C-alpha cells in the first residue's frame, strides 16, 4: 500500500479519517538534532534509519492532512534540565496556529516541573510526552511525584516511552514505570510503541490499570520486527481482547518507512475491521476528547 491509498483504506472502514496520537513536531533546531541522530543510526542501531518525511513544517502538516489524519500531536521531549518549559511554549504556539494538532506538553525531573506542568495544564495542554530512554532518568524520581499526581487528577493522558526498544536505557522496561502506576493507579498513560520489546509485560500493565493504553507506533512494521523482534502471537491475541485500549500512532515524520506501512502492519495482525476502527479512530477520539 502506498500513501496515496491511505484515504481509501480508512474510507473502506467507514471512518471519517485517522487520529494519530504519536507524531512529532518540534522547534527546527531540536528536530534537526533528532534527524542527525537518526542519520547516524548505523552506529546506534547497526543499520540505517532513513527518515522518510523531511519536508518543511508546513509540508509535513499538509502531508498528514492529505493522508486524512484529522488530529495529531506534537510530541516534544527534553533530554536535559531547563529544556522542557521552552518546548512547552513552542508546542502551545504550534497548536494555536495548527488547529488539528492537539496541544502537547512535556516535563523533566527538575524542581520547576510541577510549576510549568501546572501552567501547561492551565493553558490547555491535552496530552503530555515523556521519553525515559532519551531523557535518561528514573520516572520514579521523587521530584516527579507531584507531576504524576497532577496528571492523574486531571485525567490528561501522558505518552510514556518506557520500553527498552529500540535501545535500552538505564530506567527502561516495565518495572520503573510500573512502580509509578502502582503509586498513581488512576494515571492515564499511553505506553509508546506498545512497550517494545517487552510487549507482554507492558500489556500486563494495561490489564492491571484501567487508564493505561498502548500505542501502535511502528509496532508490527518490517523495520521494528527486524530490529527488536515481532510480538508473539499470544500477545497480539491479547491486544484483540483489549480492543478499547490500543490507540493508533505512527512516529511521523521520523519513520524509516512509508506512513501507509503502519496501517498495513496493523491489518496483518488479522484482528478484524472493528478492531481497526477502534484503534484508528474511536479509542484515540475518546482519549483526546475529539468530537
pLDDT < 50 positions in the chain: none
- Measured N-to-C along each axis, helices 199-208 and 233-241 cross at an angle, to the nearest 10 degrees, of 20
* Rounded-to-integer distance, Cα 182 and Cα 165, Å: 23
Asked if 42 and 48 touch (Cβ cutoff 8 Å), the reply is: yes
Report CA-CA distances (Å) from 27 to 50, 107, 109, 277, 282: 20, 16, 21, 33, 30
Closest CA to 288 of 194, 186, 155: 155
* pLDDT the model gives residue 62: 98
Phi-psi domain of 167 (left: phi exceeds 0; alpha: psi -120 through 50; beta: other): beta
* pLDDT the model gives residue 137: 97
Cα 6 to chain centroid, rounded: 20
* Rounded-to-integer distance, Cα 233 and Cα 221, Å: 15
Q: Domain 3-288 belongs to what architecture?
A: Alpha-Beta Barrel (3.20)
Instruction: Look at the block and give the residue holding cell 510530541.
Output: 75
Angle at Cα 189 formed by Cα 187 and Cα 192, nearest 5°?
A: 165
* pLDDT the model gives residue 168: 93
* pLDDT the model gives residue 46: 86
Asked if 78 and 104 touch (Cβ cutoff 8 Å), the reply is: no
Over residues 217-242, the pLDDT tens digits come to 999 999 999 999 999 999 999 999 99
* Rounded-to-integer distance, Cα 223 and Cα 65, Å: 25
* pLDDT the model gives residue 257: 97
* Rounded-to-integer distance, Cα 117 and Cα 105, Å: 8
* Rounded-to-integer distance, Cα 72 and Cα 94, Å: 12
* pLDDT the model gives residue 43: 79
* pLDDT the model gives residue 20: 98
Amino acid at each position: 500500500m502506498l500513501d496515496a491509498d491511505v484515504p481509501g483504506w480508512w474510507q473502506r472502514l467507514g471512518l471519517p479519517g485517522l487520529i494519530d496520537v504519536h507524531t512529532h513536531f518540534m522547534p527546527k533546531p531540536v528536530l534537526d538534532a533528532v534527524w542527525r541522530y537518526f542519520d547516524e543510526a548505523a552506529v546506534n542501531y547497526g543499520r540505517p534509519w532513513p527518515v522518510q518525511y523531511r519536508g518543511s513544517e508546513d509540508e509535513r502538516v499538509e502531508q498528514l492532512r492529505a493522508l486524512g489524519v484529522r488530529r495529531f500531536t506534537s510530541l516534544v521531549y527534553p533530554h536535559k534540565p531547563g529544556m522542557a518549559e521552552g518546548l512547552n511554549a513552542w508546542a502551545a504556539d504550534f497548536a494555536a496556529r495548527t488547529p488539528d494538532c492537539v496541544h502537547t506538553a512535556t516535563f523533566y525531573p527538575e524542581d520547576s516541573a510541577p510549576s510549568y506542568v501546572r501552567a501547561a495544564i492551565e493553558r490547555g495542554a491535552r496530552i503530555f510526552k515523556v521519553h525515559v530512554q532519551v531523557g535518561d532518568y528514573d520516572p520514579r524520581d521523587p521530584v516527579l511525584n507531584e507531576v504524576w499526581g497532577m496528571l492523574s487528577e486531571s485525567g490528561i493522558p501522558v505518552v510514556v516511552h518506557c520500553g527498552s526498544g529500540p535501545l535500552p536505557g538505564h530506567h527502561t522496561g516495565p518495572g520503573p514505570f510500573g512502580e509509578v502506576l502502582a503509586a498513581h493507579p488512576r494515571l492515564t498513560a499511553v505506553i509508546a510503541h506498545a512497550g517494545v520489546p517487552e510487549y507482554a509485560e507492558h500489556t500486563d500493565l494495561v490489564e492491571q490499570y484501567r487508564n493505561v493504553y498502548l500505542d501502535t507506533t511502528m509496532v508490527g512494521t518490517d523495520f521494528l520486527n527486524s530490529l527488536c523482534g515481532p510480538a508473539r502471537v499470544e500477545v497480539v491475541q491479547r491486544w484483540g481482547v483489549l480492543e478499547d485500549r490500543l490507540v493508533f500512532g505512527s512516529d511521523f515524520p521520523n519513520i524509516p518507512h512509508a506512513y501507509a506501512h503502519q496501517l498495513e502492519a496493523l491489518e496483518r495482525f488479522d484482528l478484524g475491521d472493528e478492531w481497526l476502527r477502534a484503534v484508528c479512530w474511536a479509542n484515540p477520539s475518546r482519549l483526546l476528547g475529539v468530537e
